[in-house]
Copies of this chain bind each other. A is one copy, B any other.
């Protein structure tokens, strides 16, 4: 296939997926950060936010194969080797699947959020890359078809092919991963006026280790409490009932363990709730934490207060406030 490269250029970025046509041009894509688990929904729930997010600039080249020419915002932590970077690996899997390994691509990855933050950093990059190549090739198939490739990236990034970050990054909004075998993704509604305040305390909590500390055996009665809460949260999302969402967002199984890796987790919760948060919890496997709030002002007061507190105990932090992202990835240039 690789010697079958087509030199012709097509004016539009939209070209047929199959056949002997090539793809041309450059595309600049944003994909959102995501909050997985969502307190009571360990391993099955996630949602996307409008800020932060990662950006990929993808350019068609005339030499088959993928190169990564630039990565910014990663402090030199991510590999430029396309065989080792989750973005290029995912895109390569996709190209193999659609029979287009004849294409040459160069990728720039601009990380706009910290790595290892619990905000689905690798998912955002991977989804941005996949959305870029899908758009360049004019592939109008359902985005759900990109999921397996994005999950390949997750497997590489954190040792486990989870979908609770990549699915919301790809679709936007709230997503339920009901089942993995077969993969069953349900898109859930959410209140439009729900604000998400995110605080990333700059401490190191690797996803792999954060998984390992979770208990393997639990009590049935605790599981019942947890699934009552996840059923309540899902109901609250459908009913547009922010009170119900708030009182359902309790995690008695994972948070008690993972919170130990996060500085002053319970103190931060107390501060957030006193300021009027609807709920507060760990984003993904941490160390980022998030709060839901009913308005932008409250969300900002929460991030400010928590950042001040972290500064006082000598921990740097990044903060973000946004509504829930409803669109997933988007072309920005």
Contact = CB atoms under 8 A, between A and B. Distances in A.
Interface of A: 41-45, 176-179, 184, 186, 188, 214-221, 223-232, 234-235, 238-239, 244, 247-248, 253
Question: How many copies of this chain?
Answer: 2
Contacts of A225: 179
Given A226-B227, A234-B238, 17 more contacts: A41-B227, A44-B224, A44-B228, A176-B231, A177-B228, A178-B228, A178-B235, A178-B247, A184-B232, A186-B235, A216-B221, A218-B219, A218-B223, A230-B230, A231-B234, A238-B238, A238-B239
Contact of A235 (B176, B214, B219, B223): B176
Closest 5 CB pairs of A and B: A178-B232, A238-B238, A223-B223, A227-B227, A44-B228
A45 B230 CA distance: 12
B223 A227 contact: yes
A177 B228 CA distance: 7
Contact of A223 (B226, B232, B238, B248): B226
18 contacts: A41-B231, A42-B224, A44-B224, A44-B227, A178-B228, A179-B228, A184-B247, A186-B231, A186-B244, A215-B220, A216-B219, A216-B221, A226-B227, A227-B227, A230-B230, A234-B234, A234-B235, A234-B238
Contact of A178 (B188, B218, B229): B229
Contacts of A227: 41-42, 44, 223, 226-227, 230-231
A43 B221 CA distance: 9
A248 B231 CA distance: 13
A253 B219 CA distance: 12
B223 A214 contact: no
A105 B226 CA distance: 42
Which of A186, A223, A247 has most chain B Cβ within 10 Å?
A223
